[in-house]
Amino acid sequence: MTAHGSNQTRHWQALDAAHHVHPFSDTAALNKEGVRVITRAKGVYLWDSDGKQIIDGMAGLWCVQVGYGNEELAEAGYEALKTLPYYNHFFKTSNPYTIELAAKLAGLLPDGHERVLFANSGSEANDSAVKIVWYYNNLLGRPKKKKIIGRLHGYHGVTVASGSLTGLPAVHADFDLPIQNIIHTNSPSYYHYAEGNETPEEFCARIVKSLEELIVREGADTIAAFIAEPVMGAGGVIVPPPGYFDRIQPILKKHDILFIVDEVITGFGRTGEMFGSFTYNLKPDMLTCAKALSSSYLPISALLITDKINDVLAEGSVKHGAFAHGVTYSAHPVCAAVALETLAIYEERKIVDHVKKVSPRLQEGLRALQNHPLVGEARGIGLVGAVELTQNKSGKQAFDPKNGVGNYVQSRALEYGVIVRNMRDAVAVCPPLIIDEAQIDELVEGLRRALDDGLAHARKQGWVS
């Protein structure tokens, strides 16, 4: 095991290797190298057990919007813990925090999203959306209308249903996913899938046409819903081509297909609007959010549904005696209290306005990296973006995944005190929304140095000339 320094670090590494199963990790390699132990955080910075300061260019997992060490959130949680540490909301009970939060969320969205179902993670929120889509159509007497369309490279979670919606092969492999009634359509990545000399508009028209062809081929009477992130996150920060959603939404309406928008990453300011749905003029029937709902200080997620859907669910309660769905910790009062305070911070500190002010600095910095020999494309919106690594800029040739060039760049960035995330050789940044322009420059410079090291490494291995 590689030691980072102190005896305490080595002790923690040994315990972690012996007992902790890490998600989305190469366990053998991780146990050999030893984990980096993060011991404290403040603002946009982390410190490890050896005292190294690191700028968190990924806001944890796309989620710590207001940064670390926020005292208002800590106090809100502490007061709720003292007042009402837990009570369920199953049996004709509720609590002030949950009631106020539901009303606040309903007020953030137009178009009658008046009902909110709480859970603990984005995966659970999307899982709930699947169940409600099926329940809704059964109650309407449409038992065949059950298929839900996800997208290649989309990410919606890892539970059995949400993992099936996800369009990443690694989430499916050997897990027996996707399950029945989940199908996938094309990714909107122009960089990866444009054919010949297609313009972005021509590419957009083609993939939207293929979606409608899929609907017709499967039978519109069997297609219940379509789910999409406004901007794909874990699939590589894929920004949709112009007009993509404008073309899709009328098709969904034409075929009576519910539109589920996954705002787990894009919600609460990330794109420069309160929701990515506002950025792209989306009109969802259902919307899921999590992560930034509490700035991830405590686990909470929400599924927002229209009155049209809720009215059918209410009829189901009459038929069955209850709406038989929910989990122990959903609408947890302490989590709801922290989420309420988080929403207050967004409003009082004008976080969305701040994102609009500083995000051009990030996007300009990323675009400047597009001139780097290792970068095929720089893309992003608001305070999220990525650089796509390439073996050949003119031919958009990807590296062999076994070469691990993206992982190498990610590891070098960490040595320079910057956390970025590699996803299929797309290296992403998604910092806390409180980041300032000087810190953005620090983040981009660390990534640039890591790309230089990645290029030198690739040349040494003979992968690029």
108-116 average pLDDT score: 84
> Would you say residue 110 lies in a domain?
yes
Q: How much of the chain exceeds pLDDT 90, in percent?
A: 88
Q: Model confidence over 137-193: pLDDT tens digits?
A: 999 999 999 999 999 999 999 999 999 999 999 999 999 999 999 999 999 999 999
What's the pLDDT score for residue 26?
A: 84
Q: Which domain holds residue 179?
A: 72-348
Q: 113 pLDDT band (50/70/90 cuts)?
A: confident
Of 348, 367, 402, the domain-final residue:
348
Of 316, 348, 380, the domain-final residue:
348
pLDDT greater than 60 at residue 1? no
Same domain, 266 and 367: no
Q: 433 pLDDT band (50/70/90 cuts)?
A: very high
Q: 28 pLDDT band (50/70/90 cuts)?
A: confident
Same domain, 42 and 53: yes
245-266 average pLDDT score: 98
Of 293, 321, 348, the domain-final residue:
348
> Would you say residue 298 lies in a domain?
yes
pLDDT greater than 60 at residue 250? yes
The residues, any chain, with a CB within 8 Å of residue 73's CB and separated by 6 or more, are 66, 294, 295, 297, 338, 341, 342, 345
pLDDT greater than 70 at residue 4? no
Same domain, 77 and 140: yes
Q: 209 pLDDT band (50/70/90 cuts)?
A: very high
**Among 7-21, 47-61, 276-290, where is mean pLDDT lowest?**
7-21
What's the pLDDT score for residue 29?
A: 82
pLDDT greater than 60 at residue 136? yes
Domain count, the chain: 2
Q: How many whole angstroms separate alpha carbon 194 and alpha carbon 190? A: 5
Give the phi and the psi of residue 370 in degrees, each rounded to 5: -65, -20
Return the bridge partners of 117, or none.
303
118 sits in which H/E element: strand 115-119
> Would you say residue 4 lies in a domain?
no
pLDDT greater than 80 at residue 112? no
Same domain, 303 and 447: no
Mean pLDDT across the chain: 95
pLDDT greater than 70 at residue 2? no
46-73 average pLDDT score: 97
Same domain, 55 and 88: no
CATH number at residue 225: 3.40.640.10
Name the residue type at position 210.
Answer: S
In degrees, rounded to 5, the angle at the alpha carbon of residue 233 between the alpha carbons of residues 227 and 238 is 85
Residue 424 or residue 4, greater confidence: 424
What's the pLDDT score for residue 5?
A: 60
CA nearest neighbour of 156 among 128, 122, 120: 122
> Would you say residue 439 lies in a domain?
yes
Q: Is the pTM of this model over 0.75?
A: yes
pLDDT greater than 50 at residue 3? no
CATH number at residue 446: 3.90.1150.10
The residues, any chain, with a CB within 8 Å of residue 63's CB and separated by 6 or more, are 265, 290, 291, 292, 295, 296
Same domain, 124 and 174: yes
Q: Model confidence over 366-412: pLDDT tens digits?
A: 999 999 999 999 999 999 999 999 999 888 999 999 999 999 999 99
Same domain, 121 and 265: yes
Same domain, 378 and 443: yes
pLDDT greater than 70 at residue 99? yes
> Would you say residue 465 lies in a domain?
no
Q: How many whole angstroms separate alpha carbon 295 and alpha carbon 69? A: 11
423 sits in which H/E element: strand 421-423
Same domain, 448 and 327: no
> Would you say residue 29 lies in a domain?
no
What's the pLDDT score for residue 321?
A: 86
Same domain, 207 and 295: yes
Q: Model confidence over 258-305: pLDDT tens digits?
A: 999 999 999 999 999 999 999 999 999 999 999 999 999 999 999 999
Same domain, 186 and 314: yes
Determine the angle formed by the axes of helices 405-415 and 437-460, rounding to 10 degrees. Answer: 130
Q: Model confidence over 311-369: pLDDT tens digits?
A: 999 999 889 988 889 999 999 999 999 999 999 999 999 999 999 999 999 999 999 99
> Would you say residue 3 lies in a domain?
no
What's the pLDDT score for residue 393?
A: 87
**Among 32-41, 353-362, 434-443, where is mean pLDDT lowest?**
32-41
> Would you say residue 45 lies in a domain?
yes
Same domain, 41 and 155: no
